[in-house]
Structure formats: structure tokens, C-alpha cells
Amino acid sequence: MTASQALRSAEADPLAWLEDLTPAQQDALLAEALAELNREKIVGYAPYTKQRLFHELGATKRERLLRAGNQNGKTFSCASEVSYHLTGEYPDWWNGRRWDRPVVVWASSETGESTRDNPQRALLGLPGDEGTGSVPARCLGDYGMASGVANLYDYIKVRHKSGGWSLLRFKYYAQGRRKWQGPPVDFVWFDEEPPEDIYDEGLARTIATGGCAAMTFTPLQGMSSVVLRFLGKDATPDRADINMTIEDAEHIPPEERARIIASFPAHEREARAKGIPTLGSGLIFPVVEDDIVVEPFPIPAHWKQIAGLDFGWDHPTGAARLAYDADSDVVYLIGEHRASELVPAMHAAAVKPWGAWLPWAWPHDGLQHDKGSGEPLADQYRAHGLKMLPATATWPDKVINGKTVPGGNSVEAGVQDMLERMQTGRWKVFSTCPLWLEERRLYHRKDGRIVKEHDDVLSASRYAYMMLRFAVPMPRGDWRDRVRRRRGSAQAA
């Protein structure tokens, strides 16, 4: 009896026949069993919670992004899904999309070498050891090798359980857009972030088939145009973003996670450990988020407060509420609001619960006349009960060489001052303000200039900060805010 026969024998008593084997035979049996398991990784995949969510959303979403840290299991996760589609051998727990016919799949990465070393390795195994990846050796068929890159496959056929053959092709972004034009494809896998034109071309290949695309990467390129499709205002119901952090990676022991995070450069920790996009040198506020975020607490009665508005219509109107601890010289962002295509009355109603006593800072465009009513925007908000400051937001005047110099409204001065506060622990953000935190991750420079997009709440906070000298403590008579303070929720309603 061979080792395989012994393993598969339903009648065999393991204890009985194992006792008849010599130690060498037992070692050989174990080696063969392990080798067989290595050739059948398709049956051994047990997804973590975030990985399972990624798979399940494939049933309803045409585009998916698994945004994860380094070595958190993103490539192996998508390779397992691709193997299910290629073979038609879906596990019992599978709630994602299914094909009951052979499919055409493109798997790709940045270069030919990275495609070979990552998606190809995950799907097929190392060169010379094909069949030890997520696609079983028993399912591999005819193949062709790519030119110009050693050991990179151009295509390989995979037996589908229906009796036909699926086609797996390997592509890479460095080939250029024209090489991505071609016949219809059912599933496109981008392992590492693709350029926008490559992503568009790959996605276009799935139109005729009603197929889908999936991306798995650590967002070291920051808030690129591709990432913004999933995280910014371009997000649609047909797109899904799944964020998997090192805390979700169950194969990494909890005691090892802090050590791993500490090994990353400080400016890359959020991307490499948490899958949070950063913009490197282009990021305007290059600080670790954990260093500025605090849990909400009741605001002391003697702290001064002020709010700011950033007007918008197509792009959202943003509002931010600040509290100032003068004793420690720390500014806290404690409330936020953001919405688009709403009239001033609706925005005013949303922020009025912050307190009728609260002074409001606003930018120069608040002097513009609304085309519908003919009234300046600031006056409309004033009419709806907000205590708008009498003039637009400016920095305090300065005395230089005995002369008073107007403060102006420089954006650069504002962002540099805010950054200094963040770096010195004097700018804090309540964890209940996710919109501001989201915009901080988006806020970046291009060609040295600040990109004025996706910055509505952030700009509102800057206007409020510019006018911090007009902040006031909450009046003792405002019983609603006193109740909120006692409940520990002085942040935005």
C-alpha cells in the first residue's frame, strides 16, 4: 500500500497500519501528505473576516479594492478567489460571485518580474514547482511563456469542473496601454496599484462579459486618481473598498504587531500597517494619525470655542468646530459637518445644535451674491441664525518695524501653522470627526502647489483657526450645551 492509498483508505485504521511502518516509512508518509496538501492549497484557504468580506462583495460590486498593509494576506486572498473562478471549485462557505463555465482571467502587476514573483507565484507556485500555488497541479494544462522576462508565463490553461478550459493570462503595467487592449475578459486582477489608463483599459475588457475587476495593494502612492475612485467623491455604489490592517491579519501574532509597525519608517507606517494612503513628500500634513486623534471628552466651560464654514454647492459645504485650551495652547477639532447641494437653511439647521452663541468664521467668497436670492452667502447664514463674524477670515495683524501689517488670508501660512501644531502636539482631533481625518489624508501638493480638492471640512477648520482670537467660552445660560457636556458629547450633534 502506498502512502497516498493509506491516507485515502476509508477502511484503514490509522493506528493499526501506522504501527506496522518503520520510522523511515512514517517520515516518507508525512512528507508525501504534506506535498499533497501543498498541491491542494485551493481547499485549505480559510479567509479572515476582511478577506471574506472582500470575496462576498464580488457578488454585487463590479470593482473592488482590498487595501491592506504589507504581508497582511491580500495577494494570497485574491489568488485563492481567482483559483475558484478558474476551476469552478467553490468551497461550501463561498458567498461571492460564481461562474458555472470556464472563464478568462488576467492577473497583473507593475513589471514582468513583479508579476512573476507575486500573482504568478501565488497562483502557480515558484518556477519549476508549478502546481504548488492556489491552482492545483491536476488542473494545469497547456501553456505559453512570455518573451523578455525569464520564467514568466504568457498564458496557461486551467481545467474547469464543467469539462472545459479556463484561460489565465499574465500582464504587466509596463507593457503600456496598447498591450492591454484585446478580447473580452471575465476577471481582471491588479496586484499592486495600476496607472489610471491601465486600470481603465483592463476594466473596459470586462464590459462585454459583465465581468469585474479587483485590486490588491498597499497604498504607498497615496491618494492617486485610482484610489480616489474608491475613497473620494468619485466613489459609486458599484465600487467597494475593503481596508485590512495588521490587526486583521490573524497569522501575525499580536505580540509581533507593535514590533513590525515600529520597523517601518514613520511616514509610511499608516500605509504599510493599516493600508491608509499617504502621499509621501506631497502630503501637506505628514503626521501619524494616532498622534493627533483623541477620544471625545467634555469640553471645560472656560475653554473658548469657534466654528468655521467653507461654502460650496457642487463641491460640499464644510463646517468645523474648534475648542481652545489656552492654558496648554492646544486646539481641538471637536465637531464637523459636510454635505453638498443643500441650501444655506439646511446647513444652518445641521450645525445650529452646536450652539446659537458660537461665532462663525467664513472665507472671502461669503461676500459673493447668491444668484437665486441676490444676498451674500454670509448674510443668508446670518439670517438663518448663525452668529457670523462681521468680516471675512484673516490672520491677526502684525507689527513689523513699528508698522502694522495686515494679516491677510494666506493658505500657506495656515497650513504651516497647523502642521507645526500637529507636530508639537498642539492640534488634536476628536475620533468622532472622520471627515476631517479623511480629508487630511487627501490633502497634498502637486508640482509644489496645494491641490484645492477634497478639503471642505479642513478648510473650514483653517478659517476657524485663523479667527481663533474671536473664540468665546460657552455662556452659562446655554443649558443644551451644558447637558451635552455632562454627557460627554460636546462634539457636533
**CATH code of residue 47:** 3.40.50.300
Q: How many domains does the chain have?
A: 3
How far is it between the farthest Cα atoms of the chain? 101
CA nearest 363: which of 269, 487, 456?
456
Most confident stretch, 156-160, 226-230, 241-245, 489-493: 156-160
Establish if 421 belongs to a structural domain: yes
34 lies in a domain?
yes
Q: Is 278:470 a contact under the CB 8 Å cutoff? A: no
Higher per-residue confidence, 485 vs 477: 477
The phi and psi torsions of 142 (rounded to 5 degrees) equal: -60, 155
User: Does 288 fall in a domain?
Assistant: no
> Does 286 fall in a domain?
no
Residue 493: closest CA among 312, 296, 290, 233:
296
In a domain, 181, yes or no: yes
DSSP character for 370?
P
Report the distance separating Cα 180 and Cα 358, nearest Å.
56
Separation of first and last alpha carbons in the chain: 73
Verify that 145 and 224 share a domain, yes or no: yes
- Domain closes at, from 251, 278, 305: 278
6 has pLDDT over 60:
no
pLDDT digits 0-9 by tens, 239-283: 999 999 999 888 889 888 888 888 887 767 778 888 877 654 467
Co-location of 69 and 155 in the same domain: yes
- The more confident residue out of 173 and 36 is 173
What pLDDT, on the 0 to 100 scale, is given for residue 10? Answer: 42
Residues 217 and 88 in one domain: yes
More confident call, 25 vs 37: 25
What is the identity of the amino acid at 138? R
What number is the average pLDDT over the span 336-349? 92
For residue range 148-191, what is the model confidence (pLDDT) as tens digits?
Answer: 999 999 999 999 999 999 999 999 999 998 999 989 999 999 99
> Distance (Å, rounded) from C-alpha 268 to C-alpha 290?
13
Q: CA 397 to CA 264: how far, in whole Å?
A: 43
Average pLDDT, whole number, for the chain? 86
Say yes or no: 96 and 217 in one domain.
Answer: yes
Residue 194 predicted with pLDDT over 70: yes
Q: How far is CA 248 from CA 103, 259, 261, 382, 407, in A?
A: 31, 16, 14, 47, 48
The answer to whether residue 285 is domain-embedded is no
Does 287 reside within a domain?
Answer: no
pLDDT at 368 over 80: no
pLDDT at 184: 96
Contacts for 438 with CB less than 8 Å, ≥ 6 apart: 231, 454
Residues catalogued as catalytic: 192
243 and 370 part of one domain: no
Cell reading at 228: 480616489
- With helix as H, strand as E and coil as C, how does the chain read? CCHHHHHHCCCCCHHHHHHCCCHHHHHHHHHHHHHHHHCCHHHCCCCCHHHHHHHHHCCCCCEEEEEECCCCCHHHHHHHHHHHHHHCCCCCCCCCCCCCCCCEEEEEECCHHHHHHHHHHHHHCCCCCCCCCCCCHHHEEEEEECCCCCCCEEEEEEECCCCCEEEEEEEEHHHCHHHHCCCCCCEEEEECCCCHHHHHHHHHCCCCCCCEEEEEECCCCCCCHHHHHHHCCCCCCCEEEEEECHHHCCCCCHHHHHHHHHHCCHHHHHHHHHCCCCCHHHECCCCCHHHCEECCCCCCCCCEEEEEEECCCCCCEEEEEEEEECCCCEEEEEEEEEECCCCHHHHHHHHHHHCCCCEEECCHHHHCECCCCCCEHHHHHHHCCCEECCCCCCCCCEEECCEEECCCCCHHHHHHHHHHHHHCCCEEEECCCHHHHHHHHHCEEECCEECCCCCHHHHHHHHHHHCHHHCEECCCCCHHHHHHHHCCCCCCC
How much is the pLDDT for 490?
Answer: 47
What integer pLDDT is reported at residue 375 of this predicted model?
78
Asked if 373 and 393 sit in the same domain, the reply is yes
The range of the structural domain enclosing residue 28 comes to 3-38
Instruction: Say what the pLDDT of residue 439 is.
Output: 85
User: Is residue 269 located within the same domain as residue 315?
Assistant: no
Q: Are residues 256 and 389 in the same domain?
A: no
Nearest alpha-carbon partner for 415 in 312, 283, 316, 245: 283
Q: What is the percent of the chain with per-residue pLDDT over 70, rounded to a whole number?
A: 85
Residues 21 and 67 in one domain: no
Q: Is the pLDDT of residue 483 over 70?
A: no
Phi, psi at residue 330, to the nearest 5°?
Answer: -120, 130
Helices 456-466 and 434-442: angle between axes, nearest 10 degrees: 100
Residue 492 lies in a domain: no
**Rounded mean pLDDT of 104-113?**
96
pLDDT one-digit tens code per residue, 426-456: 999 999 998 998 888 778 777 777 877 788 9
Name the percent of the chain lying above pLDDT 90: 57
In angstroms, the CA 145 to CA 156 distance is 9
Which residues on adjacent β-strands are paired with residue 405? 398
Per-residue pLDDT, averaged over 223-229, amounts to 79
49 vs 399, which has greater pLDDT? 49
pLDDT tens column, 109-151: 999 999 999 999 999 999 999 999 999 999 999 999 999 999 9
Query: Which band of pLDDT confidence, cut at 50, 70 and 90, is reported for residue 226?
Result: confident
**Residues 31, 119 share a domain:** no
At residue 199, φ and ψ (nearest 5 deg) are: -60, -45
> Is the pLDDT higher at 398 or at 466?
466
Long-range contacts formed by 201-210: CB under 8 A, 24+ apart: 201/177, 202/106, 202/108, 202/171, 203/63, 205/106, 205/180, 206/62, 208/184, 209/104, 209/184, 209/185
What average pLDDT score do residues 232-238 get? 76
Residues 265 and 166 in one domain: yes
Q: Which amino acid is at 388?
A: M
**At residue 473, does pLDDT exceed 70?**
yes
The residue among 291 and 106 whose pLDDT is bigger is: 106
Q: Which three cell numbers stand for residue 321?
A: 468646530
